[in-house]
Amino acid sequence: MNSPAGRPIRPRILVLAPNWLGDAVMTSRSLDVLDAALGGDFAIHLAVNRAWLDLYRDDPRLEGIIPVERPGRHDGIGGLFRLGRDLSRHGFGAVLIGPPSLRAAMIGRLAGIPVRVGYRTDGRGSLLTHGLAFPGRGASHFSEQMVVLAATLAGALGRALPEGESSGRRSPLLPGCLGVPCDPGPGPAVWAFGPGATYGAAKTWPLEQAAAFIEAAVMKRGVRLVLLGDAAAGRHSPALARTSGVPWSKTWGPEPGVVDLLGRTTLPEAVGVLRRCEAYVGNDSGLMHLAGALGVATVGIFGSSDPRWTSPLGPWTSALAAEGFPCRPCFRKTCNQDVFCLETVTAAVVLAEVESLIRRRAEGSEAP
């Protein structure tokens, strides 16, 4: 069968992306694997939360991208069936189900997709045609766990991975990511700092250490430090400004100081800012993953989460975690211990790690 343009109509496969920003970024490596194994003969489509569409809008690996409206028309029980109907119209032959939830597997079943690949989590094994045992959080990197699903889907379609493509480690990680150009104007180098973490306080670097890092970056390194994050992260601004004692503004200027953009950027605007940054420091969060994937020298700070599972990807990235705490990684939203592990991760250690990554990038050597 041929398309109106005279090209053969290729069978369609779907990748249902995870819901969180960071997980959506880490999905990119699985697309590399699918593109290597299936590209050219199969049309790869991605269903992703509308908020993250711009990560993949111009991605050359994708034939199409489908917005998932959550919040919106795909919320709730009714939304579950609506999304299933929406996807069923595309005639997908196979789906990689990224989210680990029962709901996500139900979507694939409701869409009538015959080959459904995913991990057997949340009691959903019977809804998968190719269900894999979940190796566990931190048993391998999240991106590698997604790559395993991609390889399984390719195998289910009778395709083997080309030699050297087993890890999906192509570069850049986000070849179709759209950003709004940012012009910080003349002045010293720009670094970015993300003080928030949507998941909870147990993933958030404490105020004293964060303020000390801000002071060191501005006063010792002489950089312009832009704060990035959503509106919820903006609650940190007053205390950070008061404790750090450095020049603080909401607009770009030519002198060292903080440029506070918390809650004031869209995703494409944040991408544009990050592309002008020499370095990024932040908690284990979506912005951390985005910065690393864009090639920024990125230091992720890990409290309750596990860097073996969700460390930032990219050529110049590093993950710092507290040592000597048998309770971590606990994956809790709030700490229930007498001493919070992230209180022991000092500004000096983080600053030294940033400087090391910047040197490595200047030398052309990737982080270990």
- Buried b / exposed e over 238-267, threshold 16 CB at 10 Å, is eebbeebebebeeebeeebbbbbbbbebeb
CA of 227: how far to CAs of 81, 195, 236, 240, 273, in Å?
A: 40, 7, 10, 11, 10
Per-residue pLDDT at 37: 94
H or E element in which residue 95 lies: strand 94-97
pLDDT of res. 162:
76
Helix, strand or coil, per DSSP, at residue 360: helix
pLDDT at position 57, please? 94
Conformation bin of residue 87: beta by default, left when phi > 0, alpha when psi is -120 to 50: alpha
pTM of the predicted protein model: 0.93
pLDDT, position 160: 87
What is the maximum alpha-carbon separation in the chain? 68
Q: How far apart are CA 270 and CA 280, in angstroms?
A: 12
Q: Assign 3-class secondary structure to 300-318.
A: EEECCCCHHHHCCCCCCEE
Local confidence pLDDT in tens for the 368 residues of the chain? 334 455 567 999 999 999 999 999 999 999 999 999 997 899 999 999 999 999 999 999 999 999 999 999 999 999 999 999 999 999 999 999 999 999 999 999 999 999 999 999 999 999 999 999 999 999 999 999 999 999 999 999 999 887 766 555 556 789 999 999 999 999 999 999 999 888 889 999 999 999 999 999 999 999 999 999 999 999 999 999 999 999 999 999 999 999 999 999 999 999 999 999 999 999 999 999 999 999 999 999 999 999 999 999 999 999 999 999 999 999 999 999 999 999 999 999 999 999 999 999 998 877 66
Q: Do residues 221 and 351 touch, judged by C-beta distance below 8 A? A: yes
Beta strands at 115-119 and 94-97: parallel, antiparallel or unpaired = parallel
Position 367 scores a pLDDT of 65
Angle between helices 267-274 and 286-293 (to 10 degrees): 50
Torsion of CA 149, 154, 158, 164, to 10 degrees: -110
Q: What's the CA gap between 77 and 66, in Å, rounded?
A: 19
Q: Can you list the domains of the chain with their CATH numbers?
A: 12-156 (3.40.50.2000), 190-363 (3.40.50.2000)
> What would the two tokens of residue 77 be?
């029980």
Give yes or no for a contact between 98 and 109, defined as CB atoms under 8 angstroms apart.
no
For 177, counting Cβ atoms within 10 Å of its Cβ (0-12 exposed, 13-18 middle, 19+ buried), the class is: buried
Residue 143: closest CA among 314, 281, 331, 296 = 314
The SS3 of residue 287 is helix
The pLDDT of residue 39 is 79
CA 22, CA 327: separation in Å to the nearest integer?
A: 24
Return d(Cα 156, Cα 11) in angstroms, integer: 14
Separation CA 306–CA 331 (nearest Å): 8
